[in-house]
A and B are shown apart, each in its own frame.
Chain A
Amino acid sequence: MSTEEQRLAWLLKNAVPEPPVQLSADEITAPADGSSARSWTTPSLAAAAVVAIGVTVGLVATQTAGPDRATAPLAGSSTLGSPSPQASATCPGRTVIVPNVVGQSMNGAEAVIQDAGLTVGVHFGVSAHVPPGTVLAQSPTARSLAVLGVKVELEIASAPSTSTAVPVDPATGPTATTPLSPCQAAAGTPPRATATHPVPNVVGMMANQAMWDVHAAGFTATQVITAAPASRPVPPGTVFAQEPAAGSSARPGSAMILYVAPAS
């Protein structure tokens, strides 16, 4: 090496600064939700997404919606919808597409997931609308990409409960807006906490009183102001339906939905 080359080597070693950041393996193995996530959300995911996000985010305390809601496509997802997932894309490592097991029996779902090379985590929740032993929700959701061996968390319906049917247009209900991450390289998200709190009955109350009772019972609530069904006239400003149903159990701190008749 010439003197000049030696000097250049010396210069490089001394002048190149220490990095201001350190890379983390997490960022590399689990690309963040973002632009890439969008293209993975397809309308066909929507049914599972509504149920799964509703549960995992805790908007609705482990309560599946009626048949209307379960099949209704997400308003947002049809615009986001673009090509179907492909196994190549941006997920590093060997990946598989997470199968859809929502609605299946627990044993069947376990077999399907294990066949796909993934592992299963089981949690129990309450649902008014599906028989016990049925998978209510899964995380990662169906058709996400997951690295082999990742744990798919399943929420299984454990006990039936009585329900107040909610005669409301699904479009007025809360909808999940977060696009699903295509790569769940680490693991699925287990449902937050076990459903232990009894849900109070606030149907027939004025909205303010109902909110008060809901908070006193350890829940939060969102009011949906919407016309009551014609078959069941209710006084203005009163709660005519609620989710979850009175008497069922839900996670402490989770949000109830109160359907309130318009004030006048």
Chain B
Amino acid sequence: MTEPADFADFVQRRSGALLRAAWVLTSGDWALAEDLAQTALGEVWRRWDRVAGMDAPDAYAHKVLVNTSLRWRGRRWTGEIASAELPEYAAATGGFQQVDVRESLRRALRELTAKQRAVIMLRYFEDRTEAETAALMGCSVGTVKSQGSKALARLRLVPGLADILTEGTAA
């Protein structure tokens, strides 16, 4: 039997966190993030009978989210997003530093592969350990480490982000 009330409750509680995680996985595109989170929740709903009985349905949802984004590799958001806008510099944006940092982050995430984004999201956005990250992604700890360090190396090269990572003077 289905338990729509529980599921509705679950969606309401987790929607925010899933969307923000999806934002990272989709390099900061809300439309795609919503699409991704919705697809992941659709998968959860399909198996809701079992998921509802799990110790951590949340973790399962995040696992589905990450794996969906990895499966969607080769679909829309893995491609480079061409942009006609020139990068803005902090000096030019004055008081809008928060937005500026966000834009840098978005640009930085686009530089990464889907797998690297997943590692970054799980390790640093959701503060999971390397072992947890590996379990969620269904890969080895070694892969998590190597993907993580490759991602960091790449992020260091992104203008606007390098300063933050080396000096920690963001907003």
Instruction: Decide: A16 near B168, CB < 8 A? Known: A5-B152, A21-B34, A28-B38.
Output: no
Q: Are A9 and B45 in contact (CB under 8 A)?
A: no
Of B11-19, B71-79, B88-96, B134-142, the one contacting chain A is B11-19
Q: Which of B2, B12, B41, B120 contacts A148 (CB 8 A)?
A: B2
In the complex, whether A8 has a CB less than 8 A from a CB of chain B is yes
In the complex, whether A230 has a CB less than 8 A from a CB of chain B is no
What is the 8 Å Cβ interface bit string for chain B, positions 9-29, against chain A (1 contact, 0 not)? 011100110111001100000
Q: How far is the CA of A186 from the CA of B156 in the complex (A)?
A: 50
Which residue of A is nearest B10, CB measured?
Answer: A25
Q: How far is the CA of A139 from the CA of B39 in the complex (A)?
A: 27
Q: Are B7 and A29 in contact (CB under 8 A)?
A: yes
A residues near B125, Cβ cutoff 8 Å: 9, 12-13, 16
In the complex, whether A216 has a CB less than 8 A from a CB of chain B is no
Q: How far is the CA of A17 from the CA of B120 in the complex (A)?
A: 16
In the complex, whether B132 has a CB less than 8 A from a CB of chain A is no
Q: How far is the CA of A17 from the CA of B45 in the complex (A)?
A: 26
In the complex, whether B56 has a CB less than 8 A from a CB of chain A is no
In the complex, whether B8 has a CB less than 8 A from a CB of chain A is yes
Which residue of A is nearest B170, CB measured?
Answer: A11
Number of interface residues of A (CB under 8 A): 34
A residues near B19, Cβ cutoff 8 Å: 19, 21, 23
Number of interface residues of B (CB under 8 A): 47
Q: How far is the CA of A18 from the CA of B48 in the complex (A)?
A: 27
In the complex, whether A169 has a CB less than 8 A from a CB of chain B is no
A residues near B18, Cβ cutoff 8 Å: 23
A250 to chain B, nearest CB (A): 35
Q: How far is the CA of A11 from the CA of B169 in the complex (A)?
A: 10
Instruction: Decide: A8 near B1, CB < 8 A? Known: A15-B105, A19-B30.
Output: no
In the complex, whether A149 has a CB less than 8 A from a CB of chain B is yes
Q: Are A20 and B30 in contact (CB under 8 A)?
A: yes
Q: Are B164 and A7 in contact (CB under 8 A)?
A: yes
In the complex, whether B46 has a CB less than 8 A from a CB of chain A is yes
Q: Are B41 and A23 in contact (CB under 8 A)?
A: yes
Q: Are A15 and B98 in contact (CB under 8 A)?
A: yes
Q: Which of A15, A17, A21, A23 contacts B11 (CB 8 A)?
A: A23
In the complex, whether A3 has a CB less than 8 A from a CB of chain B is yes
Q: Are B12 and A28 in contact (CB under 8 A)?
A: no
In the complex, whether B81 has a CB less than 8 A from a CB of chain A is no
Q: Are B124 and A5 in contact (CB under 8 A)?
A: yes
Instruction: Decide: A14 near B48, CB < 8 A? Known: A8-B155, A21-B34.
Output: no
B residues near A11, Cβ cutoff 8 Å: 101, 105, 161, 164-165, 170
Q: Are B45 and A92 in contact (CB under 8 A)?
A: yes
B87 to chain A, nearest CB (A): 16
Q: How far is the CA of A92 from the CA of B11 in the complex (A)?
A: 14
Q: A11-B170, A28-B41, A149-B2 are in contact. List 7 more A-B contacts (CB 8 A).
A: A23-B18, A23-B38, A24-B11, A25-B4, A25-B10, A28-B7, A94-B2
A-B contact list, 9 entries, CB within 8 Å: A5-B123, A5-B152, A7-B168, A11-B161, A12-B125, A19-B20, A23-B38, A92-B42, A93-B2
